[in-house]
């Protein structure tokens, strides 16, 4: 107790039972950036394989294409991914309404093999995390104009989250095409 600051001790003394309950309920949301979720997704995607972590450096043409997909500039100069053979795994972020959604996408032979929401930070639209929604993306391709080859049904009240996932799926397929055509 000697190393704790007086302001911290004062705050601890003022916690009410209600405040403690709220904090315990919201603690899992605050830990949305759990690296174990990403590691588990990578391990599940590459069973009995050792994927190599790689970097896709974005040139001007790729940045322009990505801007068309996302409808805004991509903030980074590179995208990290994992690859074993022709299978690639992408962990990407996009803003839903206010906060980023982290999505893991596995692409095999130009089609989405798996898609999972790894971290959802918004207060609304969380239904996009469920399998009933993400299953729609399995097998999707990006044949032309960087548009998915299938219609993805939306979820009432989660329009911006659905839009974010569709953008990230398209981005993963686009990046996979860049990697596997070189």
> Would you kindly state where each structural domain of the chain is located, as residue ranges?
33-181
Query: What is the rounded distance in angstroms from the CA atom of residue 138 to the CA atom of residue 182?
Result: 24
The per-residue pLDDT string of the chain (182 residues; one tens digit each, 9 = 90 and over) reads: 444 444 444 444 455 555 444 444 444 443 446 788 899 999 999 988 889 999 999 999 999 999 999 999 998 999 999 999 999 999 999 998 889 999 999 999 999 999 999 999 988 878 888 889 899 999 999 987 888 898 888 787 788 888 999 999 999 999 999 998 86
């Amino acid at each position: 107790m000697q190393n704790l600051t007086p302001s911290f001790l004062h705050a601890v003394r003022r916690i009410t039972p209600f405040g403690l309950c709220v904090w315990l309920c919201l603690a899992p949301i605050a830990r949305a950036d759990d690296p174990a979720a990403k590691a588990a997704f990578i391990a599940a995607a590459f069973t009995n394989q050792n994927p190599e972590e790689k970097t896709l450096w974005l040139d001007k043409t790729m940045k322009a294409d990505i801007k068309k997909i996302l409808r805004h500039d991509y903030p980074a100069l590179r995208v990290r991914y994992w690859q074993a053979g022709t299978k690639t795994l992408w962990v990407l972020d996009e803003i839903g309404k206010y906060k980023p959604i982290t999505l893991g996408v596995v692409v095999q032979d130009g089609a989405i093999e798996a898609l999972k929401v790894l971290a959802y930070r918004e207060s609304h639209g969380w239904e996009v995390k469920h399998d009933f929604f993400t299953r729609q993306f399995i097998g999707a391709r990006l044949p032309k104009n960087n548009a998915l080859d299938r219609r993805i049904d939306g979820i009432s009240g989660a329009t911006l989250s659905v839009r974010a996932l569709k953008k990230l799926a398209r981005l993963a397929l686009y990046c996979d095409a860049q990697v596997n055509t070189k």
